[in-house]
A and B are shown apart, each in its own frame.
Chain A
Amino acid sequence: MFFDLDFALKSFPEVLGGVPMTLLVTATSILLGFALGFLIYSLQARKRRWLTALCRLYVSVVRGTPLLVQLYIVYFAVPPLLHTLSQRYGLPLKVADIPPLAYALTAFTINTSAYMSELIRSALSSVEAGQMEAAQSVGMSAWQSYRLIILPQAFVEAIPNIGNMFLGLIKGTSLVYTVKLVEVMARAKVLAAYGLRYIEVYLVASLIYWGLSICFEILFKKLEQVLRVGSRKLKAI
């Protein structure tokens, strides 16, 4: 039999059980990546030449190398590094105790932060200069202007791009089985090898990724609609 429907159906709940881990990695990397990305953006905006150059280099390297390679580098470079450190300073760190999740989150956060810093820059520059000037002209401090006027508008502009990044990351997490983290893809691989039924299980995995993507696409659309209320017809004018 080419396609064993029964096996596919039976493996479905098993593979679905990996969804929480997939989402955990995605959501956490987006949040941490946002924080780190914002830091990189603000360092870059400092106008210290060497800082700017350093940030540019970071962004360029991270964006110019595959996620899988970054994952491997973190996975293989961190343990010996930690080992050396713990020996030298006598820290009670056991490399074997580091959970796979930590490797995955580190690599994904680094990866996301590079894209985020660019995203933040373009979102902020999409807000017209006149908005900042108006805020200053009524006597708001820089922080008040950002908090009340600039950031809310920039955030709405950024939502579609954050959404795209989120969808990309969901699919990107299918790589983390390589560092022994068990999510949707890892479960699928194990089941497939166990039952020697590859098509069935990978089809199930595909459906699950696709379903997740659709859900989050809708979610981000809704979020944008709700938050854009203040500039509903701005584009039409």
Chain B
Amino acid sequence: MTKAENGTDSTVMVTLRGIHKSFADNHVLKGVSLSVNQGEVLVIMGASGSGKTTLLRCINYLERPNEGEITVGGFTVRGGRAPKRDILVLRRKTAMVFQHYNLFANKTALENVLLGQTVARKTPKEQARELSLRLLERVGLADKINAYPSELSGGQQQRVGIARALALNPDVVLFDEPTSALDPELVGEVLDTIKSIAAEGITMIVVTHEMSFAREVASRVLFMDEGAVIEEGEPQEIFTRPREERTKKFLRRISADWDYNI
């Protein structure tokens, strides 16, 4: 059985159960479970190599989990050998914002936002175009709709990436370090955009090391280490009174980096 209705709690948007992932003999995810309610912003932090990107990519099956179960918006896909059709359905319930933007290089900003709707979701062209224009305006790029990615700054590209994700009207948006490839002066514009869409109640899972962002926007923060969740809690709680030694160490290190940056 690969499909199941999640009838018990209608407010749960994403559930992961026991996700395992190995690359050859490198056991990267060691049974990760989590759940995200509708409208929540879950921030994932953790040392480099702890498996954050891999976890995020498992949620939309860009990476095939070896074991475990993924439920998004009531639709469940198992790890191992999932049918192509199910993977496609899962992908059409999620959207991803990439660290390196990954805008379609041969398409304009508008086309980037439009394509997912018209091609993958068969939204009528006029309706899709209207929504795309509205979203590009929302992210402050109304004057750049006909620009190609190569003609945009990193911050602008990432905002197109966010509009592209929102255009899909997904059950959850997955962000993988959306600002870490940006020049420092461009980080703010992208974080502000993410904050504003978070305020609209869009369910998000965000991998980031931006402490102030997490403090302000996160409903919950989750720490990963060596492929497992080590600690989880509300931002105030977890940043001021971390229980785990590894969490403390990690927080000391990123706040030290933070100090040096200033």
Quick one: which of B62, B103, B105 has the most chain A CB within 10 A? B105
Query: Is B82 part of the contact surface with A, judged by Cβ < 8 Å?
Result: no
> Given known contacts A144-B120, A153-B106, A234-B105, is B150 in contact with A137 (CB within 8 Å)?
no
B119 adjacent to A230 (CB under 8 Å): no
A-B contact pairs, 8 of them (CB 8 A): A134-B98, A136-B91, A137-B98, A139-B88, A140-B119, A141-B120, A149-B107, A229-B148
Q: CA–CA, A229 to B107, complex, Å?
A: 9
Q: CA–CA, A144 to B118, complex, Å?
A: 11
Chain B residues closer than 8 Å to A152, beta-carbon distance? 106
Query: Is A233 part of the contact surface with B, judged by Cβ < 8 Å?
Result: yes
Chain A residues closer than 8 Å to B15, beta-carbon distance? none
> Given known contacts A153-B105, A234-B105, is B62 in contact with A136 (CB within 8 Å)?
yes
> Given known contacts A133-B98, A137-B60, is B150 in contact with A149 (CB within 8 Å)?
no
* Residue count of chain B within 8 Å CB distance of chain A: 28
Which B90-109 residues have a C-beta within 8 angstroms of A?
A: 91-92, 94-96, 98, 100, 102-108
Which residue of chain B has the shortest Cβ distance to A127 in the bound complex? B105
B116 adjacent to A139 (CB under 8 Å): yes
Query: Is B151 part of the contact surface with A, judged by Cβ < 8 Å?
Result: yes
Chain A residues closer than 8 Å to B95, beta-carbon distance? 137-138
Query: Is A231 part of the contact surface with B, judged by Cβ < 8 Å?
Result: yes
Chain B residues closer than 8 Å to A219, beta-carbon distance? none
Residues of chain A whose beta carbon lies under 8 Å from any beta carbon of chain B: 128, 130-131, 133-141, 144, 148-149, 152-153, 156, 229-234, 236-237
Query: Is B121 part of the contact surface with A, judged by Cβ < 8 Å?
Result: yes
Chain A residues closer than 8 Å to B164, beta-carbon distance? 138
Which B104-135 residues have a C-beta within 8 angstroms of A?
A: 104-108, 115-116, 119-121
Query: Is B168 part of the contact surface with A, judged by Cβ < 8 Å?
Result: yes
> Given known contacts A153-B105, A230-B105, A237-B150, is B94 in contact with A137 (CB within 8 Å)?
yes
> Given known contacts A130-B98, A137-B96, A139-B168, is B116 in contact with A230 (CB within 8 Å)?
no
Task: For the complex formed, measure the closest distance between the CB of B160 and the CB atoms of chain A, giving whole angstroms.
Answer: 11
A231 adjacent to B116 (CB under 8 Å): no
Chain A residues closer than 8 Å to B104, beta-carbon distance? 131, 134-135, 148-149
Contact of B102 among A130, A141, A237 (CB under 8 A): A130
> Given known contacts A141-B88, A148-B119, is B148 in contact with A232 (CB within 8 Å)?
yes
Which residue of chain B has the shortest Cβ distance to A149 in the bound complex? B104
Which residue of chain B has the shortest Cβ distance to A230 in the bound complex? B106
Chain B residues closer than 8 Å to A134, beta-carbon distance? 96, 98, 102-104
Task: For the complex formed, measure the closest distance between the CB of B206 and the CB atoms of chain A, giving whole angstroms.
Answer: 15
Which residue of chain A has the shortest Cβ distance to B117 in the bound complex? A138
Chain A residues closer than 8 Å to B151, beta-carbon distance? 232-233
Which B48-91 residues have a C-beta within 8 angstroms of A?
A: 60, 62, 88, 91
| Main SS class of interface, A | helix
Which residue of chain A has the shortest Cβ distance to B168 in the bound complex? A138
Which residue of chain A has the shortest Cβ distance to B105 in the bound complex? A231
B116 adjacent to A138 (CB under 8 Å): yes
A148 adjacent to B115 (CB under 8 Å): yes
Chain B residues closer than 8 Å to A148, beta-carbon distance? 104, 115, 119
Task: For the complex formed, measure the closest distance between the CB of A134 and the CB atoms of chain B, giving whole angstroms.
Answer: 4
Q: CA–CA, A6 to B119, complex, Å?
A: 64
Task: For the complex formed, measure the closest distance between the CB of B200 and the CB atoms of chain A, giving whole angstroms.
Answer: 20
Quick one: which of B105, B106, B119, B168 has the most chain A CB within 10 A? B106
Q: CA–CA, A152 to B108, complex, Å?
A: 14
Task: For the complex formed, measure the closest distance between the CB of A230 and the CB atoms of chain B, giving whole angstroms.
Answer: 4
Contact of A137 among B62, B105, B148, B149 (CB under 8 A): B62
Which B121-167 residues have a C-beta within 8 angstroms of A?
A: 121, 148-151, 164
Contact of B106 among A130, A141, A149, A233 (CB under 8 A): A149
Q: CA–CA, A147 to B147, complex, Å?
A: 21
B107 adjacent to A230 (CB under 8 Å): yes
Chain A residues closer than 8 Å to B92, beta-carbon distance? 139
A130 adjacent to B96 (CB under 8 Å): no
Task: For the complex formed, measure the closest distance between the CB of A128 and the CB atoms of chain B, giving whole angstroms.
Answer: 8
> Given known contacts A139-B116, A140-B119, is B148 in contact with A230 (CB within 8 Å)?
yes
Chain B residues closer than 8 Å to A237, beta-carbon distance? 150
Task: For the complex formed, measure the closest distance between the CB of B108 and the CB atoms of chain A, giving whole angstroms.
Answer: 8
Interface string of B220-246 (1 = CB under 8 A from A): 000000000000000000000000000
Contact of B150 among A130, A140, A141, A232 (CB under 8 A): A232
